[in-house]
Amino acid sequence: MIPPPAFLASEPIRSAAAESFFHVIPVPFEQSVSYGAGTAQGPQAILAASSQLELFDGRSQPAELGIHTTDAIDCRGSAETVLNRIEERCRTVLAAGVLPVLLGGEHTVSVGALRAIRTAYPGPIGLFQLDAHADLRDSYEGSRLSHACVARRAHQDLGMTLFQFGVRALCLEEHRYREEHAIARLDAAAIHRDGVAALAVPNSFPDRIYLSLDVDGLDPAVIRATGTPVPGGPGWYDTLAALETVIAGRQVVGFDVVELAPRDDDHASAFAAAQLVYAVMGMIQRNRGAMVI
């Protein structure tokens, strides 16, 4: 297997592990996809596309904090085996006081990171989920570790507080779970009707947060190369505005960008995913002085 390139490999940036705040972890895991395939190639495509990014993101240069790209996670074996490897890698990163940034891979990979976050930070953790789907099924196609169950595992098993952004596809079970547990959200239909200004993060949302960014959460006009595209999602700038809002004054303890299924005829989607990674790094960089610890 050819090792993936480093994030922003084309630029002279700080990238040694010991001097980097962002540790990018490629996770080419694909086991439970239920429509289009290809997420195993997502990390490689994002890393390759990142070489086309500008160091200056329009407001700052996140690379100044250092960006280290680790070896890819070994994704052979059962889902539980792979999640254990992800958790172990993330624990190592967190123990060093730096930030894990996962590149998927299918959305299931988030569970490994969230387990590590829960161990490292025993207090309340908020999960901000960008997604076209609620991912609140208890089981899907015979697996509780399906990509369709990630938010359920985070909320029910790990006790995390959810905020869902951009959802527009869910089953009756998920709708009922949301209502029963009063899951905070701003769904895609409400964004279309009221604008992203309607985003109201509850006062009870924790000060420490993890961001799980499924690229199918964005409208397919922004990122089409994903296995389960759904029309009607938020656009690029609305998504960035929402992320800025939820990050402001909070400590981001990790984030992931998942579910890119790259295509040879669609460089735009891979580039947009890479730019999303770097944009979030920039938000975190600019917010560090306001973090609540």
pLDDT per position as a tens digit, 93-113: 999 999 999 999 999 999 999
Q: Is 217 among the domain residues?
A: yes
Q: Is 6 among the domain residues?
A: no
Q: Is 175 among the domain residues?
A: yes
CATH number for the domain that contains residue 103: 3.40.800.10
How many other CB atoms sit within 10 Å of the CB of residue 70? 17
Q: Letter for the amino acid at 82?
A: V
Mean pLDDT, the chain, rounded, equals 94
pTM for the whole structure: 0.96
Q: Is 4 among the domain residues?
A: no
Calculate the CA 224 to chain-centre distance: 17
Q: Is 7 among the domain residues?
A: no
Residue 83 belongs to domain spanning:
17-290
Greatest CA separation for the chain: 51
Query: What are phi and psi for residue 76, nearest 5 degrees?
Result: -85, 150
Tell the burial category of 163 from Cβ atoms under 10 Å away from its Cβ (0-12, 13-18, 19+). buried
Q: Is 74 among the domain residues?
A: yes
Calculate the CA 80 to chain-centre distance: 19
For residue 289, is the peptide bond before it cis, meaning its omega torsion is within 30 degrees of 0? no
The per-residue pLDDT for 31 is 86
Element (H, E) at 242: helix 236-247
The number of distinct structural domains making up the chain is 1
Q: Is 3 among the domain residues?
A: no
Q: Is 5 among the domain residues?
A: no
The per-residue pLDDT for 4 is 73
Task: Check pLDDT > 70 for residue 264.
Answer: yes
| Helix, strand, coil percent content, the chain, rounded in steps of 5 | 40, 15, 40
Task: Check pLDDT > 50 for residue 9.
Answer: yes
